[in-house]
Amino acid sequence: MAAERVINFGAGPSALPISVLEEATQGLLNFQGTGMGIAEISHRSKEFQAFLSNLESNIRTQLDVPPTHRILFTQGGGSGQFSAVVLNMLARYRLLHPERTAEETVMDYVVTGSWSKKAAEEARRLGGGRVNVVVDSRAHSKDGKAFDNIPPHDAFRFSEDPAFIYYCENETVDGVEFSHEAGSPASFPFDILKRDTLVPLVADYSSSFMCRPIPRLADHAIIYAGAQKNIGPAGLTILIVRQDCIVDVDAAAKLGAAPVPITMSYKTLADAGSLYHTPSVLPIYIAGLVLDRMQKHGGMKHYEETNRRKALKVYDVLKEGEVAGVFRSKVQEGARSWMNVVFEVVGADAEKEFLDGAEKRGMKGLKGHRSVGGIRVSLYNAITEQEVDKFVEYAREFITERGAEQRS
């Protein structure tokens, strides 16, 4: 079966390890000797609840999540959290400041790409407070329009007392991410957290969750991620929420906050152990298998080292292509994503030629997001170094051939 599969460089739903898919097929027929498949078994059975508990423990151990934070499992993806974050955080703020009006309530958004832009738009749509755009990276781009950079720290304009600060660590569409390198000008300005009053920091980690450690995790109020990039199929959203951000939203509503749909309330999820209603059983199962496998392979240290090498290999060949006039990077150096390498192929019909050639060699999912075009190479955990090497080999062949055509 493995020999018939292509290399899936898609941005999500993305590749999963072959060994996990094979094990999952067995679980679909008979989950842990119960005589029932995982898609048939009750989510309240002792077997499934033990499995869910193990998944939570694996995440806590591998990411070093402190006891101050709960790990919750829900549905709705990142887009669902665009809404849930606003509703839960405004409820918290109302409980702390019942006297403040919506005009006096501010939500800080760091806009560095398509997803953080959408999150800010949803916050405006929901109301209950004003959206302050801390920084918009398009103003610092080469053309004044593209999300191609992380702005310098002195460009960030945080509010004095926001209900929360929101950022997206890795913008899947645009291939931009905050650097994890200490002292990098493209890192997130965590110094803002040194205020006397700890402002809740919210981060969308969907594109890089479990690919490497999360810097300053304990300083975050909420971290969320869709599972469909690095650890499972679509349908599962993972939340890491600090205890003080799990609030009584009904009490806040009595003080004037917007009512929160019960399944979007973090308190509902926490009180029910993520089992208030039937969860995404199959995605949870596959995510659990992936996390078990990751632990056996060495956890975050192994994946951080491997993913760094994978990204460097692709960026090296991208640079070769730029020198030859064949490729054009879409992201400024220092802000380039490990998980999503985006670039353009120079020349009429060159992009189609590149994609067609890749598909003939068994590589799919390389077409960029429909909103920005170009090429996007997604290097999630299940993509092996050997598969990256095959892409690099093909890219070098393409550079050589196109370069020769340009010179002739």
Q: What is the mean pLDDT of residues 207-224?
A: 96
Confidence of residue 295 (pLDDT cuts 50, 70, 90): very high
What residues are paired with 222 via a beta bridge? 202, 241
β-pairing verdict for 340-345 and 130-136: unpaired
- Is residue 4 classed exposed, middle or buried when 0-12, 13-18 and 19+ CB atoms within 10 A define those classes? exposed
Evaluate if residue 309 carries a pLDDT over 50: yes
Taking alpha carbons only, the member of 28, 173, 46, 68 closest to residue 111 is 173
pLDDT in tens, 127-142: 999 999 999 999 999 9
pLDDT of residue 194: 67
What's the chain's average pLDDT? 95
Which tokens sit at 163? 């209900």
pLDDT in tens, 364-383: 999 999 889 999 999 999 99
Q: What DSSP state is assigned to residue 367?
A: B
Q: What is the mean pLDDT of residues 320-349?
A: 96
pLDDT of residue 183: 83
Residue by residue, DSSP assigns 296-341 as HTTHHHHHHHHHHHHHHHHHHHHHHHHHTTSEEESS-TTSB-SSEE
Q: What is the mean pLDDT of residues 249-267?
A: 98
Evaluate if residue 1 carries a pLDDT over 70: no
Q: What is the mean pLDDT of residues 113-126?
A: 98
pLDDT of residue 23: 97
Above pLDDT 70, what percent of the chain? 97
Confidence of residue 3 (pLDDT cuts 50, 70, 90): low
pLDDT of residue 196: 59
CA dihedral 254, 256, 258, 263 (to 10 degrees): -20
CA dihedral 327, 329, 334, 340 (to 10 degrees): -100
pLDDT of residue 195: 65
Q: What is the mean pLDDT of residues 391-401?
A: 97
Q: What DSSP state is assigned to residue 37?
A: -
List helix spans (H) across 33-181.
46-63, 77-96, 114-126
pLDDT of residue 342: 97
Evaluate if residue 206 carries a pLDDT over 60: yes
Q: What is the mean pLDDT of residues 58-75?
A: 98
pLDDT of residue 401: 93
Above pLDDT 90, what percent of the chain? 93
Predicted model pTM:
0.96
Q: Do the Cβ atoms of 402 and 326 come closer than 8 Å?
A: yes
